[in-house]
Copies of this chain bind each other. A is one copy, B any other.
Amino acid sequence: MKKLINHVDTVLVESLDGFAAAHSDIVTLGAARQFVRRRTLKQGKVALISGGGSGHEPLHAGFVGHGMLDAACPGQIFTSPTPDQMLAAAESVDSGAGVLFIVKNYSGDMMNFQMAAEMLERDNATVIINDDVAVENSTYTTGRRGVAGTLLVERIVGAAAELGESLAHLSALGGSVNRCTASMGVALSSCTVPAAGQPTFQIGADEMEMGVGIHGEPGRRRVKMTNAEEIAAELTNNVLKDLSLKRGQEVILLVNGFGGTPLLELYVMVNAVHKILEGVGIRAVRHLTGSYVTSLEMAGCSITVCATDPSMLSLWDSPLHTAALRWGM
């Protein structure tokens, strides 16, 4: 295992300190690094809190800031944060309008966020993300997994929160964005969790894991490596089948790298997905291409399609200022 780290036990702490130092205009760390929060809160706004295991950077801490999250709770690598972290974050960022938790559907995250929600003596609601169409039930999940679609929900609901929408409205909007968002990914290599010291899974020199999860958990099947067009076709067709879109539908397209795949290849995938979408009359009107929801250094990518409308696009386009995504300000 070769990594730019000092010790497996201090990776997360040092990375959070580096993150906070680099983005001190946007964020501060909570006590004992339990959470990353906005430096400046907006009074009267519903507080959006997400979190999950680390190793998926820039998700979630990279999305804390104006127009997206108020706080993110980082667990150890691929490990859920604790209810204590979520409670501390909620106490820190709720300005009285209530707390919306945005939770990826993994058993550990679900259990801990649910405990926090029950213990929290403040108005709160939870949006559960389960955009991964690859498999029903998985290593760490009952039902579908929450993957890169989380970014879309955090962004669109975050934009609406900035406009002063109510907790009930934002909770419903989050559910709605989740339902019109679908993802599927493929891995060409495993990643190595520092504390484990060896690859999460073995994969042959000519194989790929189709439908992989963002912790390297198994997908639909292990298949022979093929070309970008065939990979794009399998991922995109499964995503489109799930969403049942009509011709002429406008979508946001996220081609997401898992951490070890160069941008050069991600744009080859964008090109391939575009041809497929054009072939079925779907119009990608907004694009995001890059490594945003990662699995450490895993090679591979996921395709996320979010069916959109003018009001969602207006939220998407509104001012945003986080460490990882920024526009309009």
Contact = CB atoms under 8 A, between A and B. Distances in A.
Q: Closest 6 A-B residue pairs measured CB to CB?
A: A18-B271, A18-B270, A18-B267, A22-B287, A57-B263, A4-B265
Interface in A212-241: 225, 227-229, 231
B264 A57 contact: yes
Contact of A297 (B11, B260, B272): B260
Number of copies: 2
Contacts of A77: 264
A327 B135 CA distance: 38
Interface of A: 2-7, 11-12, 14-19, 21-23, 54-55, 57-58, 62, 77, 188-189, 205-206, 208, 225, 227-229, 231, 253, 255, 259-272, 274, 284, 287, 289, 291, 294, 296-297, 299-301, 326-329
A54 to B, nearest CB: 7
Contacts of A261: 4, 297
Contacts of A11: 264-265, 268
Contacts of A300: 4
Given A23-B287, A262-B294, A188 B2 contact: yes
Given A4-B269, A268-B11, A268-B14, A57 B227 contact: no
B267 A5 contact: no
Contact of A5 (B19, B62, B208, B265): B265
A265 B3 contact: yes
Nearest to A17: B271
Given A19-B270, A263-B58, A329-B328, A229 B4 contact: no
Nearest to A77: B264
Nearest to A203: B2
A55 B255 CA distance: 18
Contacts of A294: 262-263
Contacts of A271: 14-15, 17-18, 21
A25 B22 CA distance: 29
A62 B265 contact: no
A5 B287 contact: no
25 contacts: A2-B225, A2-B299, A3-B265, A4-B269, A6-B227, A11-B264, A12-B264, A14-B271, A15-B268, A18-B266, A18-B270, A18-B271, A18-B272, A18-B274, A21-B270, A21-B284, A21-B287, A22-B253, A22-B255, A55-B264, A57-B263, A262-B294, A262-B296, A326-B327, A327-B329
A145 to B, nearest CB: 20
Contacts of A14: 228, 267-268, 271-272
Question: Most chain-B Cβ atoms within 10 A of its Cβ — which of A271, A272, A300, A326?
Answer: A271
B57 A6 contact: no
A267 B16 contact: yes
A297 B262 contact: yes
